[in-house]
Structure 1
Amino acid sequence: MSPATPTVPVARLSSFYLVYYAALGAFTPYWSLFLASRGMSVTAISVMMSLWYATRVVAPSIWTSAAARSSNPIRWLRAGCILTLLTFAAFLLPLEHGWLYPAMVAFCFFYNAVMPQFESITLTHLGGDSHRYGLIRVWGSFGFIAVVSLFGWLIEHHGAGRLPWLMLPLFALLVASGFANHYARNIPVRSADAEGFWQIVRRPAVLAFFIAAFLEQLSFGPYYTFFSVYMDQHGYATSTLGLMWTVGVVFEVAVFFTISRFFRRWDASWLLILSMGSAALRWWATALWPENLAVMLIAQSTHCLGFAAFFASAMQLLAGYFPGRLNGHGQGLFYGFSSGLGGVLGALIAGQLWPLGNGQVAFLVAGGFALVGTLIAWRWIPPRKPPAGLIHDSQ
């Protein structure tokens, strides 16, 4: 057993994921409804929602770099949580439409900034037991599911205009969790950190990892942007659409609970390759057999691989590539380049391809992106070590 195991503050770490993704469970599906209740047009809403991805490109790198240079980096996490709460509170005011845009930029910037730093905090606590990451991160999935279900009922009965008031307590809890958490150890600031970081990034395996992660996120563009529209085009009822989304998250929870057993025996690179390969098959099945409910449910169940297993594997690899304070830099680049830039370009490409075959071509191309990422990972991301269980038992 690793020496770090008894001291990992699982409850405090889990609370941050729980609240952060609970708020995301309100924001992602319902924020556009709130904007519509304020009288915004479809075009204006699409611009507002694009600001979420746009700020994700820059916010993680800026915030984690600033924290990495600080003598007391935990202050940056807490400041980010406070600023998330304060900027979100602007939506409680009767702002004119023109003022909603800067409010959205400010809120999305700070909200996107804090999670990469917290991922680094979690990994400092886990140390050599990073395979336990899924057991902590799974609470984010629980929070997301609970809020999606509860807030959907509340909005149906009380209207989307009350959404900011419903979300505000979640951000207050995020601040409380931010102050309850801290780094596992003090990591000294070194002037060579930035230079050492870019030296690591230039290594073939690390560079291949970031390119593969970017392609994986790029492949999700049609899914996150148009999947519900695509299913509606093929005659599925709204209740069936809800079942499809729920299936993916339920299997995601199962993976987070069990994935530590895989990491005890096998290197994360193998699971990364498997998860990206499954994404390619998923998008092709979605493109070719959208009318077949059984195929669609099976495809949705593979979300546990394409998202949950992929994300857990990425955290494992980042922990190995970027030790200590450098992990914050790595998290920032991962979130900004993969989730940020990959998310923006994925949505834009999906929008351009959507008229071709009413979405079929978009999903076929998405599968191609995932396949290219899989081949890159297979060729240039070799296993970094023997099975993790053997190393763990020898410590």
Structure 2
Amino acid sequence: MARLSGFYLAYYAALGAFTPYWSLFLQSRGMQVGAISVLMSLWYATRIVAPSTWTTMAARSPRPIRWLHLGCWLTLLAFAAFLLPLGFTGLFAVMCAFCFAYNAVMPQFESITLSHLATQPHRYGQVRVWGSIGFIVVVSSYGPLLDHFGAASLPWLMLPLLAGLMASAYANHYEHPPREADATDQAGFRTRLRQPAVRAFFVAAFLTQISFGPYYTFFAIYLGEHGYSASRLGLFWTVGVLAEIGVFFLSARIFRRWDAGKVMTVAMLSAALRWWATALWPENVWLLGLAQVTHALNFGAFFAAAMQLLARFFPGRLNGHGQGVFYGLSSGVGGVAGALIAGQLWRFSGSTAFAAAGGFALLAAIIAWRWLMPAQANARRSTG
């Protein structure tokens, strides 16, 4: 458990520097909003191909853990190129390489985690929470550092975190190394993809990721437009992730009482309310802070519920493929769409982008309520 938790700690510590502050770094390099939206969309675009490519290659290898090591090495080496004085073309190329490698390793590691927790998937939150702890330590401390040293220093500050990720990768291994899926596995996977509840799950996850587009891409810039400092930005992220940590600690209790479909519905509905509050009252620091608290639901509870559903929809060897589709479709295609849509709507105003995000989240909640909750109820009756 400690080795698994250590990898999440290192991975999400680096993400705690990248996600909130990277747009400020790009802005410090002279990039405008349109260019930033394109560059940030690469973070999500690589999720379309990286997870499935990496998990497939790992499944075919007699030593799948080597692919985890390779991915972490490539992540560190590609990121080091950001230290160079690159223009848009150079940043585009390096973003492609870094984001591909960084996005490749986590789906593979999710499979490692689930192989260790094969009979206790409800304990996933207790492992994943250490990722949130790493995230919160970095996001809360890097805001003041960037206020002091400037956003251009961010690559130097992130390099030690990625070196820690690489070191953590060598401490882990597969509990049960997955073998390559055969034709029967592939047929079973396609059959499961055709189930209405499975399709509804992926569509809802896709729409939820679109709704996060303005937040992940422009929240730092949005707060700057309303007079907030990088330190205050870090504080807002800290509030949200602290609440998220509480959900992960309580996840085992939550899923013993409520099914994952219901949890996901509530999570998506809370996201709609969060984005509308952000759009309408950005100057109200207390209301904006309260909106951040709902991160516990619209990210923490959503993600924990998604892992529960993936374990149920794609058991055993099929889980790696399910993880690949989940990351590729929701975080990948949905992330690209969210970043690009946010960039276009930003021409009108940041509030317009966040208001539209609320609409996407509400639609996701309706889909989960209509298809996932009944599916969960039917599953309980069939096993009861």
Same-fold call, TM > 0.5? yes
Whether the 8 Å contact between 1:138 and 1:253 is mirrored in structure 2 is: yes
Question: Judging changes above 3 Å, is the alpha-carbon distance between structure 1 residues 18 and 321 closer, same or farther for their aligned structure 2 residues?
Answer: same
Which residue in the other structure is 2:270 paired with?
Answer: 278
- Residue 169 in structure 1 maps to residue 160 in structure 2: yes
State the distance in 2 between where 1:46 and 1:352 align.
9
- Residue 84 in structure 1 maps to residue 75 in structure 2: yes
Which residue in the other structure is 1:309 paired with?
Answer: 301
Aligned-partner SS, 2:376: coil
State the distance in 2 between where 1:360 and 1:44 align.
20
State the distance in 1 between where 2:239 and 2:330 align.
25
Aligned counterpart for 1:52 among listed residues 34, 43, 49: 43
Which residue in the other structure is 2:328 paired with?
Answer: 336
Question: Judging changes above 3 Å, is the alpha-carbon distance between structure 1 residues 246 and 111 closer, same or farther for their aligned structure 2 residues?
Answer: same
State the distance in 2 between where 1:293 and 1:31 align.
23
Question: Judging changes above 3 Å, is the alpha-carbon distance between structure 1 residues 44 and 383 closer, same or farther for their aligned structure 2 residues?
Answer: closer
> Structure 1 stretches of 5 or more lacking a match?
1-9
Whether the 8 Å contact between 1:68 and 1:326 is mirrored in structure 2 is: no
Question: Judging changes above 3 Å, is the alpha-carbon distance between structure 1 residues 240 and 107 closer, same or farther for their aligned structure 2 residues?
Answer: closer
Whether the 8 Å contact between 1:71 and 1:189 is mirrored in structure 2 is: no
For 2:376, the aligned partner's letter is: P
State the distance in 2 between where 1:176 and 1:228 align.
30
Whether the 8 Å contact between 2:52 and 2:328 is mirrored in structure 1 is: yes
Which residue in the other structure is 1:380 paired with?
Answer: 371
Whether the 8 Å contact between 1:266 and 1:386 is mirrored in structure 2 is: no
State the distance in 2 between where 1:367 and 1:44 align.
24
Identity, % of aligned positions? 65
For 1:383, the aligned partner's letter is: Q
For 1:245, the aligned partner's letter is: W
Aligned counterpart for 1:215 among listed residues 200, 207, 213: 207
Question: Judging changes above 3 Å, is the alpha-carbon distance between structure 1 residues 122 and 28 closer, same or farther for their aligned structure 2 residues?
Answer: same
Which residue in the other structure is 1:17 paired with?
Answer: 8
Aligned-partner SS, 1:128: coil
Which residue in the other structure is 2:237 paired with?
Answer: 245
Question: Judging changes above 3 Å, is the alpha-carbon distance between structure 1 residues 46 and 278 closer, same or farther for their aligned structure 2 residues?
Answer: closer
Which residue in the other structure is 1:6 paired with?
Answer: none
Shift of residue 161, structure 1, vs aligned partner:
4.8
Which residue in the other structure is 2:319 paired with?
Answer: 327
Question: Judging changes above 3 Å, is the alpha-carbon distance between structure 1 residues 135 and 365 closer, same or farther for their aligned structure 2 residues?
Answer: same
Q: Deviations over 1:58-83 (max 9, x none)?
A: 21121122223334322222221122
For 1:224, the aligned partner's letter is: Y
For 1:250, the aligned partner's letter is: L
Shift of residue 55, structure 1, vs aligned partner:
1.3
Q: Deviations over 1:167-213 (max 9, x none)?
A: 23322222222121122213333412233222211111111100000
Shift of residue 355, structure 1, vs aligned partner:
4.1
Shift of residue 353, structure 1, vs aligned partner:
2.6
Shift of residue 100, structure 1, vs aligned partner:
4.0
For 2:275, the aligned partner's letter is: W
Shift of residue 94, structure 1, vs aligned partner:
6.0
Question: Judging changes above 3 Å, is the alpha-carbon distance between structure 1 residues 240 and 147 closer, same or farther for their aligned structure 2 residues?
Answer: closer
Whether the 8 Å contact between 2:19 and 2:216 is mirrored in structure 1 is: no
- Residue 106 in structure 1 maps to residue 101 in structure 2: no
Which residue in the other structure is 1:41 paired with?
Answer: 31
Which residue in the other structure is 2:137 paired with?
Answer: 146
Q: Deviations over 1:323-382 (max 9, x none)?
A: 1221111111111110111111112222323344x3343333222211211121112112
Which residue in the other structure is 1:7 paired with?
Answer: none
Q: What's the Cα RMSD here?
A: 2.7
Which residue in the other structure is 1:194 paired with?
Answer: 186
Aligned-partner SS, 2:252: helix
State the distance in 2 between where 1:287 and 1:14 align.
35
Which residue in the other structure is 1:178 paired with?
Answer: 169
Whether the 8 Å contact between 2:260 and 2:305 is mirrored in structure 1 is: yes
Question: Judging changes above 3 Å, is the alpha-carbon distance between structure 1 residues 176 and 108 closer, same or farther for their aligned structure 2 residues?
Answer: same
Aligned-partner SS, 1:225: helix
